[in-house]
A and B are shown apart, each in its own frame.
Chain A
Amino acid sequence: AQTIHQWPVAEIKAVGSPLSLGCTIKGKSSPNLYWYWQATGGTLQQLFYSITVGQVESVVQLNLSASRPKDDQFILSTEKLLLSHSGFYLCAWSRDNERLFFGHGTKLSVL
């Protein structure tokens, strides 16, 4: 069975500090991978997607970047956090493009 693991579960960070969020998918080779984000009171919106190692497409410009260093790993990062980066980050993968499977998410608070 496929599993998706996100880390950390929650982060409290200072404005201007760096950030790295991770996501690992086990049990599925060459998945399509996605990052979604939900600001407090806002809707879930897609940030990035990747269909293969080393290739990441940006959907929304939020001063964040994403990388896919391995087939089963997706990293979201920034060198300098903004207050507006606070929210809930979800990693997801898809199987045969029929549905998305989401992780448990990371709650980020930027102070």
Chain B
Amino acid sequence: GDSVTQTEGPVTVSESESLIINCTYSATSIAYPNLFWYVRYPGEGLQLLLKVITAGQKGSSRGFEATYNKETTSFHLQKASVQESDSAVYYCALGDLTGNTGKLIFGLGTTLQVQP
């Protein structure tokens, strides 16, 4: 079936350190999966961080980057230098939104704690 596996949290890093949150996926029923990273900051709703719809492409937002790798079925989230304000829960997801069902398959979420 379709599934997403991501780094188990919590992940704790110090400010200005680099970050990678791993995400791998299995898309057996989705012909052309899109890949997403969503984030939930404390006290806020779940919001889209970045999205990539084509294999081989890279998405970026707020200093975060993720590359859609079809060969390794991965979509790892990286940032060169984290800030305390990046502390949040990060969700990797896959789906195909073109068909109106709006179905996204989410990972369990990774809690990131950035220490000052």
Chain B: residues with Cβ within 8 Å of the partner, total of 23
Bound-complex Cα distance A102 to B46 (A): 6
Number of interface residues of A (CB under 8 A): 25
Q: Are A97 and B46 in contact (CB under 8 A)?
A: no
Does A10 interact with chain B (Cβ within 8 Å)?
Answer: no
Bound CA–CA A59/B2 (angstroms): 14
Whether A43 and B103, one on each chain, are in contact in the complex, defined by CB atoms closer than 8 angstroms, is no
User: CB of B47 within 8 A of chain A?
Assistant: yes
Interface residues of A in 34-71 (CB under 8 A from B): 34, 41-46, 49, 51, 57, 59
A45 to B93, CA, bound (A): 11
B108 within 8 A of A: yes
Contacting pair B104 A100 (CB below 8 A): yes
User: Is A81 an interface residue, CB under 8 A from the partner?
Assistant: no
Which residues of A lie under 8 Å from residue B38 when comparing CB positions?
102
Residues on the A chain within 8 Å of B36, using CB: 99
Tell me which residues across on chain A come within 8 A of B103, comparing CB atoms: 46, 49, 59
Query: What chain B residues lie within 8 Å of A101 (beta carbons)?
Result: 47-48
Q: Hey, what's the 0/1 contact readout for B37-66 against A, CB within 8 Å counting as 1?
A: 010000011111001000000000000000
User: Which residues of A line the B interface, CB within 8 A?
Assistant: 4, 32, 34, 41-46, 49, 51, 57, 59, 90, 92, 94, 97-105
B-side residues, CB < 8 A to A, are 4, 36, 38, 44-48, 51, 91, 93, 97-104, 106-109
